[in-house]
Structure 1
């Protein structure tokens, strides 16, 4: 049976401008690996933390919820401050984008870039994401159909409470977009669900940033940093940070 190696955080030390990179829900730091190495090659310090329960066996995800992952983000930002970085920009994908927007409402950041950000998610959709992730993980491991079926039981029986709290976290973040005044770039994939283009427009309209840009990438799906427009997106990120 295939053993999938657990993911690790990424920390690449460079100049005094640090970039915090936040991955998506049920994924891990590979979302941000190419972005981090490309930015580091330009001189930036890059730090991509791994949220608790992510990047390991799917069962780990059952022990944590949105407040734990938000705390991981707060701790990651504090880590960069403790390391002496005064100038911190943040890049977030999907739920990482939600965390980026939330952080910008409370902390003094240099710039933020958000990609594929939802402005709402139904609890059932969020639960389904975990179920799909667990099923795919077990399939890649090469487990038998009967073993997978048996191991999927706890995922199907997950209570929706944690997912409702997740939805409320997203909604609360969106209700305070007017607190954001830092320069912001908002990107979405034109091959993603159409709701993400609408989300991008809503965020663009409601932030109070004097410098703001919004752009769709025609070949990009949801995980924009890994797809066909990856190089173009990374170049756009570099241009915006500079």
Structure 2
């Protein structure tokens, strides 16, 4: 169905990724308002090297944006915990975690609370203002509806619910990030902190805060010249995958 003829394109919902390999499982956590496409190439490439890869989909993500409003950061954190427990139930004793943006925050929190093999965080924030998080949701909803082929008038009507949304759940989101950062000293597992040099300066600063406050004996930090926020989808993705595999074998 084409745009401009009164048709709306139906966008297929995203799905989790589970690629079975050896006994070292890698949990891959996507970013806020995105979905498992963030981690698809990384999962495929490291699976080719033998690793088991599991990329869960947080509730309300990868589908119509209205569904996102039904959940908050605690729901998505529970999805991560359930995914970790799923890998445990599958018999994996070696579990590493890779997380992008809010997925990086979830990775840090797992490293604070659970026994994991290695942690890799990309584009991880140490803070996010509720107003900016709301703007991100609005932009996501607008772009989703535009891809669907809806008219400007229809989009303006449907976007109103997002403009009117309360900041309450996003304040909780910010508090979740801050509380995780406050407990960085509980992390002792090997960790790699990666950031894009073309991203907002917040993320290079955040990377250094994480690096300086974890208690890991093995810790690496690296910036990528050609990368913006969604590093795993950018020009440096081949180098990033190469560095991830190298880090797993240190």
TM-score norm. by structure 2 comes to 0.96
Map 1:32-111 onto structure 2 (within 5 A).
32-111=39-118
Query: Cα deviation per residue 1:38-91 (whole Å; 9 max; x = unaligned)?
Result: 011000000000000000000010100000000000000000000000000000
- Deviation (angstroms), 1:188: 0.1
Give the match's secondary structure for 1:188.
strand
Give the match's secondary structure for 1:8.
coil
CA RMSD in angstroms, aligned pairs only: 0.4
Q: Whole-Å Cα distance in 1 between the matches of residues 245 and 141 of structure 2?
A: 34
- Deviation (angstroms), 1:100: 0.2
Q: Whole-Å Cα distance in 2 between the matches of residues 166 and 204 of structure 1?
A: 22
Aligned to 2:155: 148
Q: Which residue among 206, 219, 225 is the counterpart of 1:212?
A: 219
Give the match's secondary structure for 1:18.
strand
Give the match's secondary structure for 2:54.
strand
Point out 4+ residue stretches in structure 1 off by more than 2 angstroms. Answer: none
Give the match's secondary structure for 1:7.
coil
TM-score norm. by structure 1 comes to 1.00
Aligned to 1:115: 122
- Deviation (angstroms), 1:25: 0.1
Aligned to 1:22: 29
Q: Whole-Å Cα distance in 1 between the matches of residues 121 and 248 of structure 2?
A: 13
Q: Which residue among 116, 137, 155 is the counterpart of 1:130?
A: 137
- Deviation (angstroms), 1:195: 1.0
Unaligned runs of 5+ in 1: none
